[in-house]
Structure 1
Amino acid sequence: MLPEKDPGNSEVTELAPNTPQDELNSPPARSKLLGCFQVLGAFFILFNVWGLNFAFGSFQSFYALNYIQSSTASDIAWIGTIQSWLLIVGGLLSGPLFDLGYYKTMIFAGSFLGVLGMMMLSLAHQYYAIFLSQGVCMGVGFGLLYVPSITLVSRSFTSRRAVALGVSTSGAPAGGIIYTVMFNQLISRLGFPWTVRLMGFVMLGLFIAAAILLLLPERGSRKLEITQSRSLIDLKAFKDLPFWSFTVANFFLYLGYITPFYYIPTYAETKLGTSRTMASNVLLISQASSVIGRVILTLFAHYCGSMVSWVSCGILSGILCLTWISTDSLARFILFAAFYGGISGALIPLPPSVFAHVCPDPKRLGTWLGMAQSLSSFASLLGPPIAGALASINSTGSADLNFLGIQLFSGITMAFGALQLLGLWYLLYTKRGKRGFF
């Protein structure tokens, strides 16, 4: 049997022909310190790639009400959704490259494109330029970083996988908080160009720190020649029912998940009459709750099972989006934003934790996860623009949106996706022999 290269540690592990399945499903042995480095490095990467996506609500409000007022809410939402779609669909390429050991190259290329896109955004004044820099360039760069980062952490832990993913992915809302604060505090003082440039310098510093932490294990190790080729797509996955069940459920959850974060500031300003600062503060409250929620709920998943936690968070998130309809005061809206951020935040770290049980071959975990996330990513591409289009019906512009369409769309799609997870649970029991809540 051919030796397999581990991207996180360039050692070769020769698998014996009669290796038990439990051993095949276990990651290579790593020191606790090395695992902490990988979690912290992934935290910094997700701080940038998802943090800027969560902060897009501030960009959305600024673009719609001040910067490019001639563009509709749906048009502007496409900028953020293209970025998030490319971020996830990039796993179709970065997943197999991770399995082949090209993690170092993807860190450098993805970091360069992300910072380049941010700097080009500071020079943009028209919709098409903003779309290409913030949507396309940054999205492609982030797509080379996201799936490999969470896959590396997922393969590095077994019993505490959900906790490790919860800590590392908490970088996403933490980044959303910092970048939202930076944008709103600097935009009135420095203007749009220098605000964006300073955010780009922060990105650069964190990418450098992440590269040092994630590539540290490769120092002094012997460069290995790749002896086994991999395709971008493993056709076996398309014949696997648990793979499709996971993908469909994740699709509907993603369809509604990010949408409230895009429209929270606009809702606060236009429907509740708050200032831009207060509207951004509500978004910050939601993101801060997401940091706490991810850690607490993944600890809960460690003791009670990732699957039951994922189902519960999906159903509760959908219900919360429906309760958004009754938030006719600032106090109620803050409560909604806080609870939604805290509960929905776990929907990011829990799927990769469960997917380790979906994929039957741990050596193809990166490829299968990249394929599943890429298919689900179309939900992130379509969700906010569809919600924006629904909100624009019978409205006269971005300041007069019908938010009932956004609220119903997000709530119903997320609840439906959570119900689909029950089918995945049954398939993992019958097809993979998984017992309990794993």
Structure 2
Amino acid sequence: MTDNTPIDIIHSRDHDGDIAPEDSSKKEHRNSVERTPATIQHDKLGDDVPPDGGYGWVCVASVFWINAHTWGINSSYGVFLAHYLTNDVFPNTSPLMYAFTGGLSISCALLIAPLATYLIHLFGTRAVLNLGVFFETLSLIGSSFVTQRWQLFLSQGVCFGFGMGFLFVGSVGITPQWFSRRRGLAMGINAAGSGLGGMMYSLAVGAIIPRLGLSWAFRILGILACVVNLVCANLLRDRNKAVGSRYKAFHLPLLKRPEFLLFLGWGVLTMLGYVAILFSLSNFATSVGLSPHQSSIISALLNLGQGLGRPFVGMFSDKLGRINIATFLTFLCGVFCLLIWTFARSMGLVSFFAVLVGTVAGTYWATVAPVLAEIIDLRDLPGGLSITWIVLVPPTTVAEPIALLLRNNRSEDYVYLHVQIFTGLMYIAAAVCLWLVRGWKVGDNIRVKQEMAAAAATGSEEKETGLVQKSERAGISDSGVHCSPVPTKKALWYPHALLRSMVAARKV
């Protein structure tokens, strides 16, 4: 479930690709006037060139395995949930309470993200990563001794979420610091770790519980996670000083921007569908007559689809546009739920759906930060993502309980029909939110180009005459030709302009 762009790292100046070459005379004049010590240090930090490999590949491998032993292990909760529901492990515990445990792990990981970002600033990346290893190990080993449901909530829910959050925030921003040209490939490999880890541990948990019991399943996971994460956490090296990293927990003015609010809507609606698929598919398999072993295979295939699909999502996003791909694949996931999942009854069809939907269900996690970087200024990205993680806490907490409440236990053949419809509609509604953002972005790109053209024309006239003509301010050149008026930011949201931009064939 990891993402392709750092949440706490930004460059100390704008991306080189977003800045037009500056006129040498203007640059010399600016340097002679504005070269303060702070500016000189600012430029030095911004001139960093990633090595695009080298030790970066060690970091890629380390983050891959951290993802496999955090989000991957968390993805296997669907197998635990199926076991809890069918065996009444903790008496007097309702299915709704079991569902909250899985949601708590994700929501707590997101809730702790701003604190983890702040702690990186105080104590460094490695300290935060090792703190995550401690909490996750404590969670899994502690879960093997629980005897009451509140202990399960604290161990497998809250404590595991804290460990996963510290490891996620500490590791997700490191790989982009080492790569430039190969960044998409490197981040795609990182994102695949959670899917492939989920596949491995769904199969492992499904095999261990019948043979060794629930307690030893937790202990084995705890030992493996501790060893692997501890090694990987201490192999990672950040380049915070080289890239000029800075930290900001929140940027509240973003909440005044309609495009950012729609972006948050995309996340909330996607998470309501994603968590429902992730944790319900294994139990759905048992509801249609498959065995517990077969249901664990279904959960593994879902994670296999995520592991195989996420690198391709990243590569296609670079080629066809990040917002375009995120919108299309989010919509496609909703269609798969409505047209395939609702008719899946056999092992073959359920397996086909699991792999197919896995390739697109986690599109949000593969594109969330790149999409946000297209919407807001790069300098505001950490603050925007921190707000995003907090906003996602409620939907990730309640998504699976909602799914369990929607089950129709009185219907033998269509127990999960309402869940399937709910999930599909959530993904489609999320795609509509992002489609509106796409329309705004297309219009905004046109507005920026027109502003640049107008500024270039004005600058050329000033160089020749040294004066700014009043007619130019009115949009009329010396030749009497009327220049196209630049639309205002507010005008981009007019219904006719927005609709025209939404259907425009543009790479955004």
TM-score range, shorter chain: 0.7 to 0.9
1:63 aligns with 2:95: no
Normalization by structure 2: what TM-score? 0.74
Query: Shift of residue 408 of structure 1?
Result: 1.0
Partner of 2:64: 43
Conserved? CA contact 1:115–1:200, under 8 Å:
yes
Partner of 1:424: 437
Distance 1:279 1:343 in 2: 20
Alignment deviations for residues 319-365 of structure 1 (CA, whole Å, 9 cap, x no partner): 11112111122222111111111222333111122222233143x43
Conserved? CA contact 1:94–1:106, under 8 Å:
yes
1:171-320, aligned counterparts within 5 Å? 171-215=193-237, 232-271=249-288, 273-320=289-336
Match of residue 29, structure 1, among 40, 49, 59 = 49
Query: Shift of residue 238 of structure 1?
Result: 2.1
Task: Mark the CA change 1:129 to 1:101 in structure 2 (over 3 Å): closer, same or farther.
Answer: closer
Query: Shift of residue 35 of structure 1?
Result: 3.1
Report the AA paired with residue 322 of structure 1: L
Query: Shift of residue 158 of structure 1?
Result: 5.0
Task: Mark the CA change 1:90 to 1:161 in structure 2 (over 3 Å): closer, same or farther.
Answer: farther
Report the AA paired with residue 50 of structure 2: R
Aligned length: 417
Distance 2:74 2:47 in 1: 31
Partner of 2:190: 168
Query: Shift of residue 437 of structure 1?
Result: 2.7
Match of residue 122, structure 1, among 132, 136, 144 = 144
Query: Shift of residue 95 of structure 1?
Result: 3.6
| Residue ranges of structure 2 left out of the alignment (5+ in a row) | 1-6, 21-42, 450-505
Distance 1:303 1:338 in 2: 24
RMSD value, Cα: 3.2
Query: Shift of residue 418 of structure 1?
Result: 1.0
Match of residue 347, structure 2, among 309, 327, 330 = 330
1:350 aligns with 2:372: no
Normalization by structure 1: what TM-score? 0.85
1:381 aligns with 2:394: no
Query: Shift of residue 151 of structure 1?
Result: 3.4
Conserved? CA contact 2:174–2:237, under 8 Å:
no
Conserved? CA contact 2:141–2:222, under 8 Å:
yes
Conserved? CA contact 2:321–2:507, under 8 Å:
yes
Partner of 1:437: 507
Match of residue 162, structure 2, among 131, 140, 152 = 140
Match of residue 54, structure 1, among 63, 75, 82 = 75
Distance 2:12 2:427 in 1: 43
Task: Mark the CA change 1:217 to 1:404 in structure 2 (over 3 Å): closer, same or farther.
Answer: same
Q: Is the partner of 1:170 in helix, strand or coil? A: helix
Conserved? CA contact 2:104–2:397, under 8 Å:
yes
| Residue ranges of structure 1 left out of the alignment (5+ in a row) | 1-5
Report the AA paired with residue 148 of structure 2: Q
Conserved? CA contact 1:58–1:183, under 8 Å:
yes
Task: Mark the CA change 1:131 to 1:171 in structure 2 (over 3 Å): closer, same or farther.
Answer: same
Conserved? CA contact 1:390–1:405, under 8 Å:
yes
1:102 aligns with 2:172: no
RCO (CA 8 Å, sep 6+): is it higher in 1 or 2?
1
Task: Mark the CA change 1:289 to 1:389 in structure 2 (over 3 Å): closer, same or farther.
Answer: same
Larger Rg computed on CA atoms: 2
Q: Is the partner of 2:290 in helix, strand or coil? A: coil
> Which shifted more, 411-420 or 259-268?
259-268
Task: Mark the CA change 1:422 to 1:170 in structure 2 (over 3 Å): closer, same or farther.
Answer: same
Distance 1:98 1:333 in 2: 43
Alignment deviations for residues 360-386 of structure 1 (CA, whole Å, 9 cap, x no partner): 143x43232122122123221121111
Query: Shift of residue 420 of structure 1?
Result: 0.7
Alignment deviations for residues 136-178 of structure 1 (CA, whole Å, 9 cap, x no partner): 1111121222244333345555555443332111111111112
Partner of 1:3: none
Query: Shift of residue 317 of structure 1?
Result: 0.6
Task: Mark the CA change 1:22 to 1:311 in structure 2 (over 3 Å): closer, same or farther.
Answer: same
Alignment deviations for residues 105-131 of structure 1 (CA, whole Å, 9 cap, x no partner): 211111111111111001012211111
Alignment deviations for residues 386-413 of structure 1 (CA, whole Å, 9 cap, x no partner): 111111x5649xx998311210111100
Distance 1:274 1:361 in 2: 48
Task: Mark the CA change 1:395 to 1:131 in structure 2 (over 3 Å): closer, same or farther.
Answer: farther
Distance 1:14 1:369 in 2: 17
Query: Shift of residue 236 of structure 1?
Result: 2.5
Distance 1:126 1:191 in 2: 17
Distance 1:96 1:318 in 2: 36
Partner of 2:422: 409
1:142-157, aligned counterparts within 5 Å? 142-154=164-176, 157=179
Distance 1:405 1:309 in 2: 28
Distance 1:87 1:430 in 2: 36
Report the AA paired with residue 278 of structure 1: Q
Match of residue 74, structure 1, among 88, 92, 96 = 96
Conserved? CA contact 1:319–1:411, under 8 Å:
yes
Distance 1:46 1:85 in 2: 17
Distance 2:209 2:384 in 1: 42
